[in-house]
Amino acid sequence: MVLTFVAARLSMSTPLLTALVILLLFVFASLPILWNIKGYYDHLRDVRNLLEKKLSSGCNQAELVQLVKDALVVQSSGMQGVARATMALTLSVILGAAIFLLIANPFKLQDTTLDKILPTLKDILLALTGAISSIIGFYFGGRATQGAEPQNGGGPPAPAAAAKPAIENFTTDPDSPATPGTKVKISCSATNPSNGFLQYKFEVLDMDGKRVDGTQGYQNQSVWVWSADVPEGKYFIWVYVRDGLHADIGGYDAREMKEFEIKK
């Protein structure tokens, strides 16, 4: 505060210093936005590096597909609200510049009369009040209603997400390997932090990531029997567990994969 006052007082003698103070204000106000943007692109770079590393290590297509899905679901939030924050910080810069100019050009009672000072001060106070009201109404009001905005382009608001269930046990009977035509009993047990009922979905993928068999969506049973009438080879058995009250929300499930081999 002391340095700010000194800089503002010194700006009376040179317009260049006044411009420098305003420029510094703008730079400091822009730092949070630039930092958020940097974090967003750092997230994209990390995802790209991870995908390149997995590809170079020879991962199978099923793992790659799942990795891409997880990367799309878990996105950086650094870019959210940048437009609102930019507007708020821009108004803050204008407000700060106005205060600096007031400090740098104080009224001198010996040079003017009170009748000329009061109307000018009234206009200045009204302008500052309008700027502050714009900041509060646009920024903080927008943040308060952000959670109620529709997420699907004009439809009803998405339901609140529950905590992810936790898979405790995921087994097959018999164990891998098994012969073609074997009925493989796949069981899963999980816990739900929301204390609600759970739903389960089972899928079997081949080495190319193509669906071979599975349940028709989610079911309430935690057991599914796979009739392994498939060619010999390795397959990937996936289980997805969701809170039944939030079964339509993407990304809020627990999942686990088990490799299973079919051979004679």
Among 9-13, 39-43, 97-101, which stretch is predicted with the lowest mean pLDDT?
A: 9-13
Share of the chain above pLDDT 90, in %: 19
**Structural domains of the chain sorted by starting position, each given as residue range(s) with its CATH number in brackets:** 2-148 (no CATH), 166-262 (2.60.40.2360)
Residue 107 neighbours by CB distance under 10 Å: 13
Residue type, 147: G
104-135 pLDDT, tens digit per residue, is 655 555 555 555 555 666 666 666 666 666 66
Q: What is residue 227's three-state secondary structure?
A: strand
Between CA 140 and CA 137 the distance in angstroms is 6
pLDDT for 208 beyond 50: yes
Whether 233 shows a pLDDT value over 80: the answer reads yes
Q: Give pLDDT, residue 164.
A: 75
pLDDT in tens, 138-192: 656 655 555 544 444 444 554 454 567 889 999 999 999 999 999 999 999 998 8
CA 127 to chain CA mean position, Å: 36
- pLDDT at position 10 is 47
Residue 76 has pLDDT above 50, yes or no: yes
> Is the CB of residue 245 less than 8 Å from the CB of residue 163?
no
Residue that wins the pLDDT comparison between 225 and 146 = 225
> Which of 104, 98, 91 has the alpha carbon at shortest distance from 132?
91
Higher pLDDT, 45 or 76: 45
pTM of the model: 0.41
Contact 189, 169 (CB under 8 A): yes
Q: How far lies 9's CA from each of 28, 29, 102, 103, 208, in Å?
A: 20, 22, 10, 7, 71
Mean pLDDT, rounded, of the chain: 71
Of the candidates 7, 8, 80, the one whose C-alpha atom is nearest the C-alpha of residue 40 is 80
